[in-house]
Amino acid sequence: MSWTKVLAADALSSGGRQVVKVGDRNILLLNHENKLYAVDSICPHLKLPIKKAKINEEGAIVCSFHRSAFDIGTGEVKAWCPWPPGVGKLLSMVSEAKSLPVFPIRVEEGSIWIDL
Protein backbone atom coordinates (compact mmCIF):
# COMPACT_ATOMS: atom_id res chain seq x y z
CA MET A 1 0.00 0.00 0.00
CA SER A 2 1.26 3.48 -0.80
CA TRP A 3 -0.18 6.96 -0.83
CA THR A 4 -0.72 8.55 -4.22
CA LYS A 5 -1.60 12.18 -4.94
CA VAL A 6 -4.67 12.18 -7.20
CA LEU A 7 -6.31 15.63 -7.31
CA ALA A 8 -6.08 19.16 -5.99
CA ALA A 9 -7.76 19.47 -2.59
CA ASP A 10 -10.44 21.80 -3.94
CA ALA A 11 -11.22 19.75 -7.07
CA LEU A 12 -14.30 18.06 -5.59
CA SER A 13 -16.97 20.28 -4.11
CA SER A 14 -19.83 18.76 -2.09
CA GLY A 15 -21.74 16.32 -4.31
CA GLY A 16 -18.81 16.07 -6.72
CA ARG A 17 -17.37 12.84 -8.01
CA GLN A 18 -14.56 11.89 -10.32
CA VAL A 19 -12.89 8.70 -11.49
CA VAL A 20 -9.09 8.69 -11.28
CA LYS A 21 -6.67 6.06 -12.51
CA VAL A 22 -4.05 4.83 -10.07
CA GLY A 23 -1.82 2.14 -11.52
CA ASP A 24 -4.18 -0.27 -13.24
CA ARG A 25 -7.20 0.62 -11.05
CA ASN A 26 -9.94 3.15 -11.60
CA ILE A 27 -11.04 4.72 -8.34
CA LEU A 28 -14.19 6.74 -7.81
CA LEU A 29 -13.65 9.77 -5.56
CA LEU A 30 -16.77 11.24 -3.99
CA ASN A 31 -17.46 14.28 -1.90
CA HIS A 32 -20.59 13.39 0.06
CA GLU A 33 -21.77 16.05 2.50
CA ASN A 34 -18.27 17.58 2.54
CA LYS A 35 -16.55 14.30 3.39
CA LEU A 36 -14.29 12.55 0.89
CA TYR A 37 -14.51 8.85 -0.01
CA ALA A 38 -12.55 6.64 -2.38
CA VAL A 39 -14.19 3.47 -3.67
CA ASP A 40 -13.62 1.07 -6.54
CA SER A 41 -15.26 2.46 -9.69
CA ILE A 42 -16.66 -0.96 -10.60
CA CYS A 43 -19.61 -2.64 -8.89
CA PRO A 44 -18.56 -6.04 -7.52
CA HIS A 45 -21.83 -7.60 -8.75
CA LEU A 46 -21.38 -7.66 -12.53
CA LYS A 47 -18.34 -5.37 -12.86
CA LEU A 48 -20.37 -2.46 -14.23
CA PRO A 49 -19.45 1.20 -13.56
CA ILE A 50 -20.72 2.65 -10.31
CA LYS A 51 -19.96 6.31 -11.07
CA LYS A 52 -23.62 7.32 -11.42
CA ALA A 53 -24.78 5.45 -8.31
CA LYS A 54 -26.91 7.41 -5.85
CA ILE A 55 -26.12 7.69 -2.17
CA ASN A 56 -29.13 6.96 0.03
CA GLU A 57 -30.15 8.40 3.41
CA GLU A 58 -28.31 5.61 5.23
CA GLY A 59 -25.02 6.56 3.59
CA ALA A 60 -24.98 3.63 1.20
CA ILE A 61 -23.93 3.93 -2.44
CA VAL A 62 -26.60 2.20 -4.55
CA CYS A 63 -25.57 0.80 -7.92
CA SER A 64 -27.90 2.04 -10.64
CA PHE A 65 -28.01 -1.34 -12.44
CA HIS A 66 -29.42 -3.87 -9.94
CA ARG A 67 -29.44 -1.62 -6.85
CA SER A 68 -26.85 -3.42 -4.81
CA ALA A 69 -25.98 -1.10 -1.93
CA PHE A 70 -22.70 -0.68 -0.09
CA ASP A 71 -21.74 1.40 2.92
CA ILE A 72 -19.82 4.31 1.41
CA GLY A 73 -17.23 4.32 4.19
CA THR A 74 -16.60 0.61 4.69
CA GLY A 75 -17.87 -0.99 1.45
CA GLU A 76 -20.01 -3.42 3.49
CA VAL A 77 -22.89 -4.94 1.51
CA LYS A 78 -26.25 -3.46 2.60
CA ALA A 79 -28.29 -5.02 -0.23
CA TRP A 80 -27.28 -7.50 -2.91
CA CYS A 81 -28.95 -7.26 -6.28
CA PRO A 82 -32.57 -6.60 -5.28
CA TRP A 83 -33.55 -5.20 -8.69
CA PRO A 84 -35.52 -5.86 -10.80
CA PRO A 85 -37.97 -7.79 -8.62
CA GLY A 86 -37.80 -11.53 -9.25
CA VAL A 87 -35.04 -11.29 -11.87
CA GLY A 88 -32.76 -9.55 -9.39
CA LYS A 89 -33.07 -12.48 -7.01
CA LEU A 90 -31.98 -14.83 -9.79
CA LEU A 91 -29.08 -12.53 -10.67
CA SER A 92 -28.04 -12.41 -7.03
CA MET A 93 -27.60 -16.18 -7.10
CA VAL A 94 -25.17 -15.95 -10.02
CA SER A 95 -22.53 -14.36 -7.84
CA GLU A 96 -21.89 -14.36 -4.11
CA ALA A 97 -22.29 -11.02 -2.33
CA LYS A 98 -19.00 -9.13 -2.28
CA SER A 99 -18.15 -5.86 -0.57
CA LEU A 100 -17.14 -2.79 -2.53
CA PRO A 101 -13.41 -2.09 -2.13
CA VAL A 102 -12.83 1.23 -0.36
CA PHE A 103 -9.55 3.04 0.14
CA PRO A 104 -8.10 5.38 2.76
CA ILE A 105 -8.21 9.01 1.63
CA ARG A 106 -6.73 12.20 3.09
CA VAL A 107 -6.11 15.83 2.22
CA GLU A 108 -2.57 17.07 2.73
CA GLU A 109 -0.31 19.69 1.17
CA GLY A 110 -3.17 21.04 -0.93
CA SER A 111 -3.93 17.69 -2.55
CA ILE A 112 -6.17 14.64 -2.19
CA TRP A 113 -4.23 11.43 -1.55
CA ILE A 114 -5.45 7.84 -1.60
CA ASP A 115 -3.77 4.73 -0.28
CA LEU A 116 -3.78 1.67 -2.52
Residues forming the site for ligand FES (CB under 6 A):
43, 45-46, 48, 63, 65-66, 68, 81
Which residue type sits at 56? Answer: N
User: What pairing do the DSSP bridges indicate for beta strands 69-71 and 54-55?
Assistant: unpaired
Q: Which is nearer to ligand FES, 81 or 112 (CB)?
A: 81
Q: Which is nearer to ligand FES, 65 or 113 (CB)?
A: 65
Report the C-alpha gap between 29 and 18 in whole angstroms: 5
Which residue type sits at 94? Answer: V
Question: What is the closest distance, in whole angstroms, from the C-beta atom of residue 37 to ligand FES in the complex?
Answer: 17
Please provide residue 37's backbone torsions phi and psi, each rounded to the nearest 5 degrees: -135, 150
Question: What is the closest distance, in whole angstroms, from the C-beta atom of residue 114 to ligand FES in the complex?
Answer: 22
Question: What is the closest distance, in whole angstroms, from the C-beta atom of residue 68 to ligand FES in the complex?
Answer: 4
